[in-house]
Homo-oligomer: A and B are copies of this chain.
Amino acid sequence: MQDFFKYLNKNIDINDEAKFLISSIIKIREFKKGEILITQGQSKVTDTYFVLSGCLRSYVICENGKEHTVQFAIKDWWISDYIAYYGKGEAILTVECLTDCIVLQSDKLSIEKVFEKFPEIETFHRKNLENSFVRLNKRIVNQLQLNARDRYINFTADFPKMESVAKNYHIASYLGITQQSLSRIRTQK
């Protein structure tokens, strides 16, 4: 929990009252490699996860059974199925641990209560969300305009250690390319 307060304190001043409230709504969870936090099709998604250590990914399984990686998350990142978490309805994505992980888990209603009580934490969250919004916009722009090789180069810059923990098809499907293309690009590089 101290790591999380350190992360918050890098950006905003939070007092003891806020720390107390945050501690009361957050659970520290440990998961083993391969464990599933959210399962595509579950009736709803109430929780979001902040990564203290380890690596996770979210993915969608198509009708033809193929998996497509939507997001990777490493230390200090948040992960969930945000389509179901912020929207309504059942989970569209599965979230799994690619390594042993320690995460902080909390639910949307409790987080809203923190925002009500501490508007400065809502502002911090809002700015984080703006950054995530920029990242998603960049991903869409890159997907539209960059070739596979340049997308791969960007990926290795964003996630330098991911290649040692993620499988080839995790990365290939994240980049929207085939595993054969990924192998070819790696060889050329």
Contacts and interface: CB of A to CB of B under 8 A. Distances in A.
A131 to B, nearest CB: 7
Given A83-B137, A86-B131, A134-B86, A144 B173 contact: yes
A60 B141 CA distance: 7
A182 to B, nearest CB: 15
Given A115-B123, A119-B122, A93 B133 contact: no
A57 interface: no
A82 to B, nearest CB: 5
A114 B60 CA distance: 39
Contacts of A140: 70, 136, 139-140, 143
A122 B70 CA distance: 29
A134 B87 contact: yes
Given A92-B141, A93-B141, A140-B70, A82 B129 contact: no
Interface in A121-136: 122-123, 125-126, 129-134, 136
Given A122-B123, A144-B173, A137 B136 contact: yes
A133 B129 contact: yes
Contacts of A176: 143-144
7 contacts: A60-B141, A68-B141, A82-B133, A82-B134, A132-B133, A139-B140, A143-B176
Interface of A: 60, 62, 68, 70, 82-83, 86-87, 92-93, 115, 119, 122-123, 125-126, 129-134, 136-141, 143-145, 173, 176
